[in-house]
Structure 1
Amino acid sequence: MPATNVELSKKELELVVNSEFILTKNRIIQKVYDLFGVLSEDFRKILNSFSNSLPGEMHSSSPKIYKGENYLGLPYIMMDHPRFFNKDDAFAIRCFFWWGNYFSITLQLSGKFFNQYKAALSQFIKNKQNEAYFICVNTSPWVHHFEESNYKPFNAVPSEEILQKEFIKIAARLPLNKWNDAEIFFRKQYREFIEMLIRA
């Protein structure tokens, strides 16, 4: 049998002997952790300021930050706050860092929470208040990339189609080359999601 091809290309060899590449990657990942840690405190304050207008479940769990090395082959970090998931219902705002791609923030609602906020969502969709948003068109809520099979621009999907699904995911993204704008981006979008829901 032929031997497994384990020879390295020139580019692979350059990387495998370069420990600084991995050390730099680790520093970047830590900075995302630090950013999400700071944001989690800000988000908690925002939620508390709207405590009388949001479901009690939104205050029942603490922020959760977690990472992985292989979302479509690339490292990622997520933070959920609030985060409420059961078999039928979901209410979450998810911050996402995906190596080589972007930062994103997503509002995800299903079940009783989707029904509770349909009037507010309908008004938001009708007004087309922010063309920078994307709407999930996938049949699964657990896919995060922004290919056309998963997300489409906000104005490209009929509102009746959006509201007839079993869940809704509204997302915004920021290119990684705008890294220094990330903190402002997340704070602004987070507050806009919350205010969008309580306007009705």
Structure 2
Amino acid sequence: MKNFLLTPEERQVAFDAGWIYHKNSVINKVMELMGAVHRQLEAQLQTALFPFPVPCLQQGGKISKGERYKELPYVILDYPRYFSQEAVWAFRTMFWWGHYFTCTLHLAGTVKAGYVPALQAGYAQLVAQQVQVYMQDDPWQHDFENGNYRPVATFKPQEWETWIEQREFIKLAKPFALEIWEKIIPEAVACYTTLLAVISYK
């Protein structure tokens, strides 16, 4: 079989450089957008007041991009962020080509353990905000396909408390349609401040 032969659709793409220029322009604009999200998160009063693990704000924000998350381009902002072998505290804003934006709070290891009571107590608030929780064992999957996420609202309160207690890491997230492109900055800020409020509970 001649696997190098092009389909009609592939020929149309391969012979037209224009779409690549548009794609590169889109990615550049997403990078700018993530920079704006970073500045807005950094400027929030909650960022100044929240008792982050010390390295979180010291490390600053990081914007990264790639071409092949599930074979599609992506851009990620991690801010605030702290990644180590023992613990993770990260708020991640992600653009996934052709799908959606996502905002995710990732807590793992020794960091996660300290937030268990607040996460349990925050059940009603998470339900009200339509937050979803990651269900798989590999923490580095980011999409909402294949049962990766489940709405917190589908847990009974006691089930939620047990789930939070038993997991080695927790990822709380919300997807946002690409159609709200112009509104993703305030939506990301709202998600961030909501999740900070939940884990600030004492």
TM, length-normalised to structure 2: 0.90
**Alignment correspondent of 1:183:** 185
**1:32 partner amino acid:** V
* Structure 1 portions without partners, runs of 5+: none
**Alignment correspondent of 1:166:** 168
Residue 58 (structure 1) aligned to one of 50, 56, 59: 56
CA distance in 2, matches of 1:166, 1:36: 29
| Mean CA deviation greater in 20-29 or 41-50 | 41-50
CA distance in 2, matches of 1:162, 1:156: 14
**Alignment correspondent of 1:38:** 36
RMSD, matched Cα: 1.7
CA distance in 2, matches of 1:191, 1:31: 25
CA distance in 2, matches of 1:173, 1:55: 26
Q: How far apart are residue 49 of structure 1 and its match? A: 2.3
Q: Percent identity?
A: 29
Q: How far apart are residue 130 of structure 1 and its match? A: 2.7
Q: How far apart are residue 71 of structure 1 and its match? A: 0.6
CA distance in 1, matches of 2:64, 2:27: 11
TM, length-normalised to structure 1: 0.91
Cα deviation digits, residues 115-166 of structure 1 (max 9, x gap): 1111111111255443521101101211111124311112223302233111
Residue 24 (structure 1) aligned to one of 22, 25, 32: 22
Q: Determine whether 1:49 maps to 2:51.
A: no
Q: How many residues align?
A: 197
| Mean CA deviation greater in 125-134 or 55-64 | 125-134
Q: How far apart are residue 180 of structure 1 and its match? A: 2.0
Contact map agreement 2:135 2:147 (CA 8 A) in 1 = yes
**Alignment correspondent of 2:138:** 140
**1:184 partner amino acid:** P
* Structure 2 portions without partners, runs of 5+: none
Q: How does 1:10-159 map to 2 (within 5 A)?
A: 10-46=8-44, 48-51=47-50, 53-157=51-155, 158-159=159-160
